[in-house]
Amino acid sequence: MTMSPFMQVAYSEAQASFNEGGLPVGSVLVHDGEIVSTGRNRQEQTGSNLLHAENDALERAGRRERRFFRACELYTTLSPCPMCSGSVVFYEIPRIIVGDCTTFAGEVEWIRSRGVTVDLEESQECIALLQRFIREKPDLWRKIVAD
């Protein structure tokens, strides 16, 4: 399946993180058809506990009124973990679009139960990039998800 234009931007962010030695996940926050901010996982790069891709995009959006976030959409290459799902629910972002819900199922059910629309693109590019990371850096993947 061809990626949608905003997912292509999120994928570029994921590639950038991969090239920096980080987890290849990228996100884009969109308001009224325009990009507000982009983000990528920066845990390995910066030592942050919070800067998953979705949180990074939200942080780079800067302070806004709550009604601004209520009119946004969030594109993300990987299904969001509980932390970033909580951020989506808190900021009442009404719709997220997920590139890869195969490698990691994330919190799709919980987010939907809170009224957020979740569209699954199942992009082969997003899936392949993360699978490559897991194959090439199994110890780092294990540290991130298990140990």
Q: Which residues bind a copy of itself (CB under 8 A)?
A: 43, 47-50, 55, 58-59, 61-63, 65-67, 81-87, 89-91, 107, 110, 114, 143, 145-147
Active-site residue flag, 54: yes
**At its nearest, how many Å lie between a copy of itself and the CB of residue 48?**
6
CA 146 to each of CA 45, 107, 142: distance values in angstroms, whole numbers, following the listed order: 19, 17, 5
User: Hey, which residues does 117 pair with through a beta bridge?
Assistant: 95
Helix 138-145, helix 124-136: angle, nearest 10: 100
Looking at the Cβ atoms of 112 and 143, the one nearer to a copy of itself is 143
Looking at the Cβ atoms of 41 and 85, the one nearer to a copy of itself is 85
Q: What is the largest CA-CA distance in the chain?
A: 42
Active-site amino acid positions? 54
